[in-house]
Structure 1
Amino acid sequence: MADVLAGQREIPAFDPFDSDTVRRQLTAYLAAQTGGAVTVSKLQRFTVGFSWVTYGFDAEWGGRTRALILRVGPPKGIFAPYLARPEFVALKALAQAGMRVPGVYWYDDTCTVFGAPFFICDKVEGEVPIPWTADGGPAFDEVTRKRLGHQFFDILADLHNFDWRGTEVAELDAGGTEATVTHQQIDAWVARMHDWSEARFPMLEWAAAWFRDHAPVAQRISLIHGDFRIGNFLEVDGDIRAFLDWELVHLGDPLEDLGWTCLRAWRGGSDYMCHLLTRDELLERYCARTGLTVDRATLAYWEAFGTFKLAIMHLGAFHCFEKRGFNDMRMAGMGAQIPRLLLQVERALEEAQ
């Protein structure tokens, strides 16, 4: 790889809008990986997504054309500095287990190709349902709601049933136990909060203390998506084809993901979590498939923690716009929503107590 890129001009700082450089570097990288001539065509940057920068493209080598995705972690983005390997090893292991995720091919964390970490995966056809409704009313008809809802929570259950030990996913193990993995997540998000804001928010500081004092013991340690919700999967004719956006993947309490699906932000005021199933429906299906026991109090804890996480993500978005120079007005818009998120944290904590 180094030999192929040697002699080229110095790799510039990553510019998501410089498609010519992206195409040139991508072609050279693929040629090095495949050992032959590669043609890259139909390179297109997708504007969706708030974290990794995503390009779709076709690549032809060996007489075959493949539809692929390039995801690059922008050096000034929300979760910078990014690492591609955690997402890569998770997707690789899950694809091998038959889960509905994109197949992955290559990754690089050296920043020598694009000036940023990246990975390359299959492009999965489908649409991303983002059914926000102004009045909080039903977003799907009843048949579609149940069809997608059953698949959605079955996929989540299968993720949490996945036996990650003995796979490359085991390298994500930070030494947590059932009694400590929740504290690890609290500490990780508090550290991000302090890194991303010079201001201190009493509501968030108090919330962090409450989460520590009431942290549940996990029933098992599972692979956690970290952002499992409506808007992060592709579907065709009511069938979910692939779950996307694994940048927050880690090992932890599976109820962290379940609580995240219940956030007010994903249901628009409706009674359907992620516009798909009611709490009773999702608990019945999820518990039957995983064998876990989930009471309302524990679910409320994780919903409150998810709201806390979401508020800190908004701090990160505004920080990357204001302090890091990440020129994306959506980040500024997320900063404007911080007061509303603080109120949601307060409300979620009241419901959890």
Structure 2
Amino acid sequence: MLIVDKNNPPPDWIEGLRRRFPVEREMDRVLTRKLHRRSGPAYSPVSLEVLCDGMKSLLRTQLTDAFEVRDAKWLAGGASKLQVSIKLDWRHPELGRTTTPMVIRMEPAESIVETSRLREFQIIKAVKDVLPVPPVYWVDDAAKHFPYPTIVYGFAEGVAKPTGTFSNVTGLGINYGPELRKVLGEQYVEHLARLHTWDWTKADLSSLDVPGPGTHAVELQLNWWERVWEEDSNRDIPLMRVAAAWLRENMPATERLSLVHGDYRAGNFLFTEGDQRISSWLDWELGHLGDFHEDLAYTTLPYLAHMSEDGTQELASGMMPAAEMYERFERVSGLAVKPKVIDYYHVFHAYRSVVIVIGSGYRAARNGKTHQDLLLNWLMGMGYTILGHLRRKLEEIA
């Protein structure tokens, strides 16, 4: 058996993974870049001054009028990316001289989820007339100006959870309360239906590969996450091999290609407390073209839910019972939800979650590649709870 030092991966091993697990072109670029850089320096803290200098360097290539970058502050939240708020005094192409709050979103040396800033930029820009999203301004996907690939977008107004409410890491387990969840829940399902019925073919999504008609779109996703497991995992877990084999043997045909958010859940949207409106959808880094059931299954995962106040109902993403969410989605979208396909994607997402928290979370923290090493170690413990869910789900439907 070939033993590979995954902390110093040899070129022939990297090329072998690329052949075994063909993924989208952009994701191949991102994942291959990660492996080529893995034996390099660990993450070192980046100062606000360095980030502001990077922003100025980027702006000098984009603007001809005078500008000022000021009031830089670190933003909390998120387990994978560094985020800084700034204010930019500049000549806006539509508003003239103004001050615009913006966010610099940058990767660390290696992330728990290695993704593409270019893809994130294109998707947010494409859906601006479909869903509430922050405006996007610039992307430095080759890290010419910043230490790592970076996207710059507008600061979105709103909160992720009601004032005074507790939530777990990255917004998991938010309890909106009976009245607010009723209002937000309607918008939550309506926005998901709007996304999945939107005609993405007219948008600039060149960083996304389009699966062929009548194919199993999930195969590209399976290749992505099985490749990441091979790249990052520290030890063999037989259940993961069983799950990967089952997922490949039972791939559902994709009847309709939709833009999939990939992380559609509580904690990844903001809302304004005054009028109780969802003001912005965030974290599009896992977006891709695929089956709409993928998002529906993700947002109804048991470990993203919590019980109602009276203890009688499990509320999917803190919104409503899963059965009610499926029924509402069908009514709003006109698309038929197939329970067997939902079951399939429940297995897929459990598999993907384990890859992320036990595989990539371990590797990034072990090598000191991220600013969130303590958080990633904590998340690894959650991975074994998800493994238990994966085993039970396979026993239930296999």
**TM-score of the two chains, using structure 1 as the length reference:** 0.89
What amino acid does structure 2 have at the position aligned with 1:21?
V
Residue 40 of structure 1, CA deviation:
1.4
Question: What secondary structure sits across from 2:85 in the alignment?
Answer: strand
What amino acid does structure 2 have at the position aligned with 1:342?
L
Counterpart-to-counterpart distance in 2, 1:309 and 1:42: 38
- 1:4 alignment partner in structure 2: none
**TM-score of the two chains, using structure 2 as the length reference:** 0.79
Counterpart-to-counterpart distance in 1, 2:325 and 2:166: 19
What amino acid does structure 1 have at the position aligned with 2:241?
E
In the alignment, which of 105, 123, 126 is matched to residue 90 of structure 1? 123
Structure 1: stretches of 5+ with no match in the other structure: 1-11
Number of aligned positions between the proteins:
338
Out of 323-332 and 203-212, give the one that drifted further: 323-332
Residue 327 of structure 1, CA deviation:
4.2
Residue 145 of structure 1, CA deviation:
1.3
RMSD over aligned Cα, in angstroms? 2.3
- 1:124 alignment partner in structure 2: 156
- 2:109 alignment partner in structure 1: 75
1:12-69 residue CA offsets vs partner (Å, 9 max, x unmatched)? 9975541111112212322432212221122112121112211111110133100111
Counterpart-to-counterpart distance in 2, 1:258 and 1:83: 23
Answering whether residue 87 of structure 2 is matched by residue 58 of structure 1, we say yes
Question: What secondary structure sits across from 1:116 in the alignment?
Answer: coil
Counterpart-to-counterpart distance in 2, 1:45 and 1:137: 24
Answering whether residue 295 of structure 2 is matched by residue 263 of structure 1, we say no
Answering whether residue 354 of structure 2 is matched by residue 311 of structure 1, we say yes
- 2:277 alignment partner in structure 1: 239
- 1:46 alignment partner in structure 2: 75
What amino acid does structure 1 have at the position aligned with 2:105?
R
- 1:287 alignment partner in structure 2: 330
Question: What secondary structure sits across from 1:326 in the alignment?
Answer: coil
1:152-185 residue CA offsets vs partner (Å, 9 max, x unmatched)? 1111111111111121125412434442211221
Q: Is the 8 A contact 1:128 1:234 kept in 2?
A: yes
Answering whether residue 62 of structure 2 is matched by residue 19 of structure 1, we say no
Counterpart-to-counterpart distance in 2, 1:57 and 1:13: 26
Q: Is the 8 A contact 1:13 1:115 kept in 2?
A: no
In the alignment, which of 222, 228, 237 is matched to residue 264 of structure 2? 228
Residue 294 of structure 1, CA deviation:
1.2
Counterpart-to-counterpart distance in 2, 1:138 and 1:98: 25
Answering whether residue 163 of structure 2 is matched by residue 163 of structure 1, we say no
User: Closer, same or farther in 2 for the Cα pair 1:333/1:59, shift >3 Å?
Assistant: same
User: Closer, same or farther in 2 for the Cα pair 1:304/1:87, shift >3 Å?
Assistant: same
Identity %: 28
Question: What secondary structure sits across from 1:59 in the alignment?
Answer: strand
Residue 186 of structure 1, CA deviation:
1.3
- After TM superposition, the structure 1 = structure 2 runs for residues 98-247 of structure 1, keeping only pairs within 5 Å, are 98-129=130-161, 132=167, 139-169=175-205, 171-237=207-273, 238-247=276-285
Counterpart-to-counterpart distance in 2, 1:39 and 1:84: 24
Out of 111-120 and 297-306, give the one that drifted further: 297-306
What amino acid does structure 1 have at the position aligned with 2:146?
F
Counterpart-to-counterpart distance in 2, 1:330 and 1:50: 7
Q: Is the 8 A contact 1:222 1:252 kept in 2?
A: yes
Out of 19-28 and 116-125, give the one that drifted further: 19-28
What amino acid does structure 1 have at the position aligned with 2:367?
K
What amino acid does structure 1 have at the position aligned with 2:65?
G
What amino acid does structure 1 have at the position aligned with 2:347?
A
- 2:340 alignment partner in structure 1: 297
Counterpart-to-counterpart distance in 1, 2:90 and 2:43: 26
Q: Which has the higher contact order (CA 8 A, sep 6+)?
A: 2
- 1:3 alignment partner in structure 2: none
Q: Is the 8 A contact 2:159 2:270 kept in 1?
A: yes
Out of 115-124 and 295-304, give the one that drifted further: 295-304
Question: What secondary structure sits across from 1:192 in the alignment?
Answer: helix
Counterpart-to-counterpart distance in 2, 1:319 and 1:178: 36
Residue 266 of structure 1, CA deviation:
1.2
Answering whether residue 379 of structure 2 is matched by residue 346 of structure 1, we say no
Counterpart-to-counterpart distance in 2, 1:165 and 1:311: 32
In the alignment, which of 365, 370, 375 is matched to residue 326 of structure 1? 370
Q: Is the 8 A contact 1:132 1:268 kept in 2?
A: no
- 1:249 alignment partner in structure 2: 287
Question: What secondary structure sits across from 1:159 in the alignment?
Answer: helix
Residue 340 of structure 1, CA deviation:
2.0
Counterpart-to-counterpart distance in 1, 2:44 and 2:156: 25
Answering whether residue 66 of structure 2 is matched by residue 37 of structure 1, we say yes
